[in-house]
Structure 1
Amino acid sequence: MGLSSNTRLRVRYAETDQMGIVYHSNYLIWFEVGRSELFRELNLPYTEFEKQGLGLAVVEANCRYRKSTHYDEELVIVTEVEKMTSRSIAFTYHVYHDETLVAEGKTFHVFVNREGRPADVRKFEIWQRLQPIFAKQKKSGVLLS
């Protein structure tokens, strides 16, 4: 298992549809919350990337819904770095209510510069903080190249 983070959240009423079930697009928002928390736990909040002119563009996202979730249920989003290279990063997500898997997904991101063009993260100062973290994880299956 690579770098991972557990994020707890409670379903808000505004996140549900007329049937009281969480609207499908909210899961992608929760994935973003999980990614942000993972980086924050690494002492690398996303704002640090932005200050250096670096962004993470989502180029692919998917979610498999396994069970409905409802207003006021407490969920845990398990976010894991699946793979990181100098130009991209992939995450996996597992969303649980109690111990039941209710959704799972993946997102694939490309590092981009301020102009929105693909960027090599090794050319940015933040690489000095990222590289040691991911180098330690290389043995755990997180690919860093």
Structure 2
Amino acid sequence: MEYKTEIKVRYNETDKMGVVYHGNYFAWFDIGRTGFLGSIGLPYWELEDEGIFLPVIEANCKYKKPAKYGDEVIIIAKLTKLKGVRIQFDYELYRKSDNTLLAEGYTCHAVVDKNLKPMNFKRKYNEIWNLLKEHVGK
């Protein structure tokens, strides 16, 4: 399963050349990830209310082509790994006008409690675990 959403590049996301600053791609990954979770009935705020937190422990982005001011960007997010106390999402970003791949990457998250201690997610929140497991792509 994948989640798709679109954004339009804003002026404040770019440099003087009109090219998107590299750090903004990670903010777009966040938009995709939170959208994905919400689309399967697990909005971030509900996870946090349950005591489940997902801090990023690893992130990567490969920049293929620059996104520019005014571009419409399609964000595709997929849940690709769910194992133990780790969960991983993969992302692809495309320019809508010509379907050019702009960037691809991933974020890996630990599953922790409010004290940032890893938890046995599968045992403690089996229903949520099973819902996520149903949506893990390959």
- Give the drift of 1:137: 4.7
1:10, 1:72 within 8 Å by CA — same for their partners in 2? Answer: yes
2:32, 2:75 within 8 Å by CA — same for their partners in 1? Answer: yes
| Residue ranges of structure 2 left out of the alignment (5+ in a row) | none
Letter in 1 for 2:79: V
Pair 68,132 (structure 1): closer, same or farther in 2 beyond 3 Å = closer
Q: Aligned-residue CA RMSD in angstroms? A: 1.6
Instruction: State how far apart, in whole Å, the 2-side matches of 1:72 and 1:43 are.
Output: 31
- Give the drift of 1:83: 0.8
Aligned residue for 2:20, secondary structure, equals coil
Report the counterpart of residue 109 of structure 2 in structure 1: 109
Report the counterpart of residue 128 of structure 1 in structure 2: 127
Identity %: 36
State how 1:21-100 maps to structure 2 within 5 Å: 21-98=19-96, 99-100=99-100
1:52, 1:124 within 8 Å by CA — same for their partners in 2? Answer: no
Letter in 1 for 2:106: K
Q: Which moved more, 1:17-26 or 1:79-88?
A: 79-88
- Give the drift of 1:133: 4.7
- Give the drift of 1:91: 1.0
Instruction: State how far apart, in whole Å, the 1-side matches of 2:19 and 2:131 are.
Output: 42
Per-residue deviation, residues 47-71 of structure 1 (Å, max 9, x unmatched): 1110011100111001010101111
2:86, 2:111 within 8 Å by CA — same for their partners in 1? Answer: yes
- Give the drift of 1:43: 1.1
Instruction: State how far apart, in whole Å, the 2-side matches of 1:105 and 1:64 are.
Output: 6
1:61, 1:107 within 8 Å by CA — same for their partners in 2? Answer: yes
Per-residue deviation, residues 112-141 of structure 1 (Å, max 9, x unmatched): 11101111212444x31340452x456x64
Moved over 2 A (4+): 122-125
2:79, 2:90 within 8 Å by CA — same for their partners in 1? Answer: yes
How many aligned residue pairs are there? 136
Letter in 2 for 1:73: D
Letter in 2 for 1:117: K
Letter in 2 for 1:56: L
TM-score normalised per structure 2: 0.91
TM-score normalised per structure 1: 0.87
